[in-house]
Amino acid sequence: MTKKEFEGYLYIEGGVCAAQGFVANGLHAGFHSDKNKNDLGMVYSETPCHTAAVYTQNKAKAAPVLVTQENLKASGGIARAVLANSKNANAGNRNGKETAIAACELAAQELGIPREQVIVASTGVIGEPLPLQPFQDHMQELVSGLSREGNSKAVNAIMTTDTVPKEAAVEFLLEGKICRLGGMAKGSGMIHPNMATTLNFITTDAAVSTEMLQRALKDVVKVTYNCLSIDGDTSTNDMVAVLANGLAGNQEIREEGEAYSCLKQALYIVMMNMTRMLAADGEGATKLLECCCEGAPDQDTAIIVAKSVIRSPLFKCAMFGEDANWGRILCAIGYADAEFSIDQMDVELSSLAGTVPVCRDGAGIPFSEELAAKVLAEEEINIHINLHQGEGKATAWGCDLTYDYVKINGDYRS
């Protein structure tokens, strides 16, 4: 999957370790039966970080989400470490918070920092007790192995049904200072966000206040992770956290302006790319679907329309079957919960193989089934919708719905 280029921003390697002062590690602690699979990871900053976060809006929030919220409130938005495990979500457990707090204490003690400066996260099966023993047995090893090259070990530790690691990082200038921002993400199923999605951790060496970082994160989440849908299920454990340690040496960003816009764009680039990676790696997926809606009365309407198409099971199945059944797009647009007219709507399907217009002025038009078959045979499919009713536009991402999705989720706990 190709990355889109943005002037003034250079893609670099390193993920969460791309920025100055950040180290990471991951190892097998015993949560997962496969001894070759990392299941406990950590990201750490050598100095305190201004931290912003957004969380799942699912009412059944997992214990780590609740503990992280409490920790950041107690620390005044300051964090230095992220501790995350896979295979067990620590959700729906009577002693879940106790375990999450104890895990934070173990990490804090080994790192020599306050417990409130630890972000804790879990992902995996819901409703199974999370043992504390693996944290106790492996915390010293996890901390002692922290390194600037540990990003790949850390991202592997948070993967569940993911088939590929998801990392992105960029380098850019702020007031003449070289800054870096990078992140890692996991997620393949149970993805239909509301304020966040999956587990995502982002780091930067840019100096920015907690308030402005939170503002940027909230705005960017709206047009990236919140525009992603794999299967319509909002997880109990969703979390996005951004840590900024200021080691780049730029003047701290405390208000909107050129520097803030530059940082916000870097955040968008990294989060947008990881959103695309998450969509492309949906459970059982064979195709990345990108739906762009423009000409909407406003941006919120464009988001609603694009997401309605992306989350439609019937449309997702049609894309798996490489069937240009555009009526399923029309149906999904028609039940989108927003006020607009479809009488002027145009729809096109495109990929590297070409473009097929399928609708003009709200009605179907003749098209080449042969060309459509070639277009839909590609691994990345674009759906372009123009409502012709305003300046609002947005993009949403998803994937096709395949036989393997059912197989994976029919036997998820094994």
**pLDDT number for residue 335:** 94
**Which DSSP state fits 2?**
P
The torsion of the CA quartet 316, 318, 319, 322, rounded to 10 degrees, works out to: 170
pLDDT tens by residue, the chain, 414 residues? 678 789 999 999 999 999 999 999 999 999 998 999 999 999 999 999 999 999 987 888 899 999 999 999 999 999 999 999 999 999 998 899 999 999 999 999 999 999 999 999 999 888 999 999 999 999 999 999 999 999 999 999 999 878 889 999 999 999 999 999 999 998 765 556 554 447 899 999 999 999 999 999 999 999 998 898 876 656 677 899 999 999 999 999 999 999 999 999 999 999 999 999 988 887 778 999 999 999 999 999 999 999 999 999 999 999 999 999 999 999 999 999 999 999 999 999 999 999 999 999 999 999 999 999 999 999 999 999 999 999 999 999 999 888 887 776 676 555
Per the listing, tokens 């096109």 go with 348
Contact 47, 107 (CB under 8 A): no
The torsion of the CA quartet 45, 180, 148, 35, rounded to 10 degrees, works out to: 90
In sequence order, the 6+-apart residues with CB closer than 8 A to the CB of 249 are 177, 207
Q: Which of 91, 233, 88 is nearest to 160 (CA)?
A: 88
Interatomic CA distance for residues 77 and 48, integer angstroms: 10
Interatomic CA distance for residues 218 and 196, integer angstroms: 9
Contact 386, 345 (CB under 8 A): yes
In sequence order, the 6+-apart residues with CB closer than 8 A to the CB of 266 are 9, 170, 172, 179, 181, 204, 206
**pLDDT number for residue 353:** 97
Tokens representing residue 344 in the block: 């002027």
Per the listing, tokens 């895990």 go with 103
**Which DSSP state fits 30?**
S
Interatomic CA distance for residues 122 and 90, integer angstroms: 6
Tokens representing residue 211 in the block: 């308030």
Q: For 8, left (φ over 0), alpha (ψ -120 to 50), or beta?
A: left
**Which DSSP state fits 9?**
-
Phi, psi (degrees; rounded to nearest 5) at 20? -60, 145
Residues 333, 338, 341, 347, CA torsion sign: negative
Contact 267, 230 (CB under 8 A): no
Known catalytic membership, residue 197: yes
Tokens representing residue 241 in the block: 């956290």
For residue 241, what is the enclosing H or E element?
Answer: strand 239-244
**Which DSSP state fits 225?**
G
Interatomic CA distance for residues 178 and 174, integer angstroms: 7
Interatomic CA distance for residues 347 and 371, integer angstroms: 16
**pLDDT number for residue 405:** 75
**Annotated active-site residue in 123, 197, 203, 236:** 197
Per the listing, tokens 């915390």 go with 139
Hey, what amino acid is at 355?
A: T
In sequence order, the 6+-apart residues with CB closer than 8 A to the CB of 229 are 191, 192, 193, 307, 310, 311, 396, 397, 398
**pLDDT number for residue 368:** 96
Please write down the HEC assignment for all residues of 60-123.
Answer: CCCHHHHHHHHHHHHHCCEEEEEEEECCECCCCCCCHHHHHHHHHHHHHHHHCCCHHHEEEEEE
In order of their start, the domains of the chain are 10-280 (3.60.70.12), 288-410 (3.10.20.340)
